[in-house]
Amino acid sequence: MARIGFIGLGMMGLPMARSLLRHGHHVLGCDSNPAARDALAEGSSAVAFAATPAEVAAGADVVVLMLPDSKVVSAVVEGQGGLLAALKPGQLVIDMSSSLPAETRRLAPLVAATGAMYADAPVSGGVAKARSGTLAIMFGGDDAAWAKAQPVLAGMGEQLIRCGDAGAGHAAKALNNFLYGAGLLAAAEAFRMGEKLGLDLSVLTDVINASSGRNVATELKAQAMIQQTYPPSFQLGLMRKDLATAAAIAEETGEPAVALKATLEMFNEAVDALGPKVDCTEIHRYLGMVD
């Protein structure tokens, strides 16, 4: 099995790296957080660690990035002690972060100039599916990158969807999450209005899910909003970030994206009021605050 360099052992990266270990891969980890390193190393002899991204590139066959945003990805790739200084011909770098598609398209030829390959493979499914290794993964990259990536990605996900060239996976992820965010906001507004009318919200949910208004939010998040429990699944700040990425795509393509802009504005306000760490379903609580 390949030795996988894994840079970024956070909320998603740690369970994804653990899933690779369960599938028989050796992992060369890199993260500034000692607690994350200790958690990955616990009980496994197939784990080693590197101090810098360059050391990861020197010691791994494939390098996976799971980082907060494109700014951090760029620093890891291009910065001092970064990947570019140590990549070898035939190596593959897979950015599994939720990055800006335009930035991915910028980095891909820089990596290609070293003889290595650069691809994007953002994920959907949250921490629960990262733990079980059943993520949906959206891949962007050429044929050679796709062939080399598949055995690695299969260790973390069960749905591997090839979207096009480098950057296509990040674009597909952002547009998908725009639809999720807009649907979540619409569901929260519908529940608020139904409550004010005195409707039984459980019955309203049944009506929606048996009819044309159903979406992931009404099917999976309705009880969290009705009961106002908002358990952690996907942070409000991460939803805002993905909506901002979709807005960057709208600007790049010249699309007015009226619904997207309205959704992003509401999530911006909610993050300002509630902070970025609460669950995205708390957009429902925010609506109650501004009534």
Tens-binned pLDDT, residue by residue, of the chain (291 aa): 678 999 999 999 999 999 999 999 999 999 999 999 999 998 788 999 999 999 999 999 999 999 999 999 999 999 999 999 999 999 999 999 999 999 999 999 999 999 999 999 999 988 889 999 999 999 999 999 999 999 999 999 999 999 999 999 999 999 999 999 999 999 999 999 999 999 999 999 999 999 999 999 999 999 999 999 999 888 999 999 999 999 999 999 999 999 999 999 999 999 999 999 999 999 999 999 997
pLDDT of amino acid 213? 96
Take residue 190 and report the two structure tokens written for it: 């519908």
Report d(CA 5, CA 55) in Å as an integer.
9
**Number of Cβ atoms within 10 Å of the Cβ of 187:** 25
Asked if residues 101 and 71 have their Cβ atoms less than 8 Å apart, the reply is no
pLDDT of amino acid 180? 97
Asked if residues 270 and 235 have their Cβ atoms less than 8 Å apart, the reply is no
Report d(CA 151, CA 114) in Å as an integer.
23
pLDDT of amino acid 1? 66
CA distances from 200 to 112, 125, 176, 258 (A): 58, 30, 30, 32
pLDDT of amino acid 53? 96
Superfamily (CATH) of domain 171-289: N-(1-d-carboxylethyl)-l-norvaline Dehydrogenase; domain 2 (1.10.1040.10)
Take residue 147 and report the two structure tokens written for it: 């062939």
Residues ≥6 apart with Cβ < 8 Å to 248: 100, 101, 102
| Length in residues, the chain | 291
Query: Which amino acid is it at 88?
Result: K
What is the secondary structure of the chain as a DSSP string? -PEEEEE--STTHHHHHHHHHHTT-EEEEE-S-HHHHHHHHTT-SSEEE-SSHHHHHHH-SEEEE--SSHHHHHHHHHSTT-GGGT--TT-EEEE-S---HHHHHHHHHHHHTTT-EEEE--EESHHHHHHHT-EEEEEE--HHHHHHHHHHHTTTEEEEEEEESTTHHHHHHHHHHHHHHHHHHHHHHHHHHHHHTT--HHHHHHHHHTSTT--HHHHHSHHHHHTT---SSSBHHHHHHHHHHHHHHHHHHT---HHHHHHHHHHHHHHHHH-SSSBGGGHHHHHHH--
Superfamily (CATH) of domain 3-165: NAD(P)-binding Rossmann-like Domain (3.40.50.720)
89 alpha carbon, distance to own chain's centre: 28
Choice among 173, 196, 241, 277 that is catalytic: 173
Asked if residues 121 and 16 have their Cβ atoms less than 8 Å apart, the reply is no
Of 57, 37, 36, 33, nearest to 49 (Cα)? 37
Take residue 142 and report the two structure tokens written for it: 């050429």
pLDDT of amino acid 2? 76
Report d(CA 9, CA 25) in Å as an integer.
16
Task: Name the residue ranges covered by the structural domains of the chain.
Answer: 3-165, 171-289
277 a catalytic residue: no
pLDDT of amino acid 135? 97
